[in-house]
Amino acid sequence: MKAKITNDHNTYIVDLSKPLDISLSLRGDDKNPVAWYLGHPRIFPVRDGDFVGKVSEGASTNFNNVQFNPHAHGTHTECVGHITREFYSINDSLKTFFFTARLISLEPEKRGEDLVITEEQIKRDLRKNEVEAFIIRTHPNYIDKRSKKYSHTNWPYLEEKAAKYIKDCGIKHLLIDLPSVDKEKDEGKLLAHKAFWDYPKNTRFDATITELIYVPNKIEDGDYILNLQAASFENDAAPSRPVLYKPENDM
């Protein structure tokens, strides 16, 4: 099925039957990725007296509770409400769902004990007002990212100048295959989050950050149409499912 996706400047033709899913699904076991020092998510049947919400145990339906944290347990999209005293909901920040996007792959650079994504690396592949969304796949890109335990690993992160450059290029939606754009233990500075959202002086309330994606190696770097689907949560963040489509005409 072909569809026309139109933004302020152009119309793109995509084949909706050829989605490229770059999300991690939520599991109720230890094969789920985990960050921020939590255990794995839990998906378990409701129990009430003799009732067990499980067809294999005699119920008419499967009726599960799901216990998880959006930031720690899989692909999620967050708004500036993640770092503000005031409450802001991802539901209010993300109002449209199709965007021009660029996917790049890079290997973070060694800086002392850290691995850092630098402004110079981003400048190789991004200029001002080229696309609306920017997707970073880090190398090495092993399949074990799908179940990685990130706590206490000092994962790679985006330097403040790189986040500011991405913002200055007009990117509204930043996606990355790490638990955070910031250093795991940074004393609460959150420099990349603040630089990308231009917080607090000129806060970009309509900009989002999506973390813990997974981009399979078979998906090539380049320009795409991104469908950013977030669950309807009144929260600073929600589980999300970013999906790419390769346009059939030039971008």
pLDDT mean across residues, the chain: 97
Q: With 80 as the cut, is the pLDDT of residue 251 above it?
A: no
| Res. 117: pLDDT tops 80 | yes
CA distance 101 to 48: 47
Domain region containing 215: 2-26+70-245
Task: Single out the residue of 245, 240, 246 nearest to residue 228, CA to CA.
Answer: 240
What pLDDT is recorded for position 3?
80
CATH number, domain at 183?
3.50.30.50
In a domain, 251, yes or no: no
Q: Is residue 120 part of a domain?
A: yes
Asked if the model's pLDDT at residue 149 lies above 90, the reply is yes
Domain count, the chain: 1
pLDDT at 128: 97
Give the C-alpha separation, 123 to 75, whole Å: 26
The answer as to whether 211 is a domain residue is yes
User: What are residue 146's phi and psi, to 5 degrees?
Assistant: -70, -20
Whether 2 has a pLDDT exceeding 90, the answer reads: no
Three-state DSSP state, 166 = helix
Q: Is residue 42 part of a domain?
A: no
Residue 62 belongs to some domain of the structure:
no
Specify the pLDDT at position 226.
98
In a domain, 56, yes or no: no
Q: Is the pTM of this model over 0.95?
A: yes
E-strand spans in 132-232? 133-138, 157-158, 173-176, 208-211, 222-230
* Residue 210 forms part of a structural domain: yes
- Rounded average pLDDT over 157-176: 98
Q: Is residue 48 part of a domain?
A: no
Residue (of 28, 32, 31, 34) closest to 151 by Cα position: 34
Mean pLDDT of all residues in 121-126 = 98
pLDDT of residue 249: 82
